[in-house]
């Protein structure tokens, strides 16, 4: 890979690497029994879309350690995308989300292929859960077989373990908080552990540890990565309710139908008067939510300036994150690329 950072070219390389890796795995599943074909297909579909930011952050953690471009590192970085794919498959089952990237989610797509079978919904959810489980397994396989020296991989394994533990913890915290009274502190904790750490901070640290970065560089990357990861998910919260489905690829009613503990909902609740809270609670408690109810919630949020408050939280975290890149030890090219990635992660429409 050249010294010039080509974001589109990087994405293309990660896409091709993952496509080739999963095509081989899908073929091995089909060789066991052709009845596994739908499962093999969903394994591939789950990874087909994405901005590849987690791989990019891993790559720039490596480069911040002073390491040159490396095909083996690209394979290790691509493993971050398999973790993300697994998380989204599981998340879609938990939330019963119908769409992702504008396509039926894994459990919905599989249900459509099980017509005529007994208990198609339960069977499809079980199969999709196993697709997610297998993606996690494949992430570890791709990482371990990346071609990097064993000593390099050993340095990164503790953070890999942290990533898995904290991702599961964040998902569990979200499940436990779903339907409760909205609470900003709870929402920010869910954001931190469910998304922020495995999206930015931990891929950066894994790349840095693989590259043998000094502790000062790792501290700088962590100080940059955590607030930026939070800003990334805060943007997702906004897009979930105010984004257009044709751009986000998701159903706009998902968050309020599921009464998820998003920061946007928590900020709205915190700013609302008692009568407004009562009305919001009544809407959230409905089983027949439609676009009219979505408009009501949006209008209340705008009236209470909740979207602007979340925008302010995003901007504040991006400033803090980028400010940490001025610390000594981060190479100029890495500093420039991470500044650009901060904008791409938070200034987006999908």
Task: Give the chain's mean pLDDT.
Answer: 93
- Conformation bin of residue 101: beta by default, left when phi > 0, alpha when psi is -120 to 50: left
CA angle centred on 236, ends 111 and 20, rounded to 5°: 55
Q: What integer pLDDT is reported at residue 259 of this predicted model?
A: 81
pLDDT at 4 over 70: no
* 30-55 per-position pLDDT tens digit: 999 999 999 999 999 999 999 999 99
Q: Would you state the structure tokens that stand for residue 59, as one six-digit string?
A: 């790559």
Measured CA to CA, the distance from residue 139 to residue 69 in angstroms comes to: 21
Q: What integer pLDDT is reported at residue 109 of this predicted model?
A: 95
Q: What integer pLDDT is reported at residue 157 of this predicted model?
A: 96
Q: Would you state the structure tokens that stand for residue 189, as one six-digit string?
A: 């904790």
DSSP 35: G
Q: Is the pTM of this model over 0.95?
A: no
Measured CA to CA, the distance from residue 200 to residue 230 in angstroms comes to: 9
Percentage of residues of the chain with pLDDT beyond 90:
79
- The H-assigned helical ranges of 196-305 are 202-210, 215-242, 245-248, 254-257, 263-271, 274-284, 291-303
* 292-348 per-position pLDDT tens digit: 988 999 999 999 999 999 999 999 999 999 999 998 889 999 999 999 999 999 997
* 95-121 per-position pLDDT tens digit: 888 888 889 999 999 999 988 888 999
Half-sphere exposure of 251 (CA within 13 A, CB side): 18
The answer to whether 290 and 283 are in contact (CB under 8 A) is: no
* 62-73 per-position pLDDT tens digit: 999 999 999 999
Domains along the chain with CATH numbers: 7-346 (1.10.600.10)
Q: What integer pLDDT is reported at residue 187 of this predicted model?
A: 94
Measured CA to CA, the distance from residue 148 to residue 156 in angstroms comes to: 11
Residues 6+ apart with CB under 8 A from 304: 268, 271, 272, 276
Q: What integer pLDDT is reported at residue 286 of this predicted model?
A: 77
pLDDT at 1 over 70: no
Burial label, 223 (beta-carbon count in 10 A; 0-12, 13-18, 19+): middle
The answer to whether 287 and 262 are in contact (CB under 8 A) is: no
pLDDT at 2 over 50: no
């Amino acid at each position: 890979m050249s010294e010039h950072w080509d974001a589109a070219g990087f994405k293309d390389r990660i896409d091709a690497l993952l496509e080739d890796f999963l095509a081989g795995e899908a073929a091995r599943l089909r060789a066991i029994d052709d009845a596994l074909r739908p499962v093999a297909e969903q394994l591939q579909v789950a990874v087909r879309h994405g901005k590849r930011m987690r791989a990019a952050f891993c790559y720039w953690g490596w480069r911040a350690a002073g390491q040159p471009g490396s095909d083996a590192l690209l394979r290790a970085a691509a493993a971050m995308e398999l973790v993300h794919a697994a998380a989204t498959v599981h998340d879609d089952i938990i939330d019963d989300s119908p769409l992702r990237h504008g396509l039926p989610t894994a459990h919905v797509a599989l249900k459509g292929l099980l017509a005529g079978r007994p208990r198609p919904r339960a069977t499809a959810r079980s199969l999709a859960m196993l697709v997610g489980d297998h993606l996690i397994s494949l992430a570890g396989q791709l990482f371990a077989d990346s071609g990097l020296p064993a000593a390099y991989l050993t340095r990164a394994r503790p953070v890999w373990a942290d990533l898995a533990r904290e991702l599961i913890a964040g998902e569990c915290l979200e499940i436990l908080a779903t339907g409760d009274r909205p609470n900003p502190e709870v929402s920010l904790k869910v954001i931190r552990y469910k998304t922020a750490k495995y999206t930015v901070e931990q891929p950066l640290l894994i790349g840095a540890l693989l590259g043998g970065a000094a502790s000062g560089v790792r501290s700088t990357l962590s100080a940059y990565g955590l607030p930026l990861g939070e800003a990334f998910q805060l943007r997702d919260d906004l897009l979930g309710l105010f984004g257009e489905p044709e751009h986000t690829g998701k159903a706009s009613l998902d968050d309020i139908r599921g009464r998820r503990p998003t920061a946007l909902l928590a900020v709205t609740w915190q700013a609302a008067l008692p009568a407004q809270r009562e009305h919001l609670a009544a809407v959230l408690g409905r089983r027949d939510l439609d676009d009219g109810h979505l408009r009501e919630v949006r209008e209340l949020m705008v009236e209470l300036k909740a979207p602007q408050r979340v925008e302010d939280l995003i901007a504040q975290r991006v400033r803090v994150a980028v400010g940490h890149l001025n610390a000594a030890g981060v190479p100029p090219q890495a500093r420039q690329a991470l500044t650009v990635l901060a904008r791409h992660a938070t200034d987006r429409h999908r």
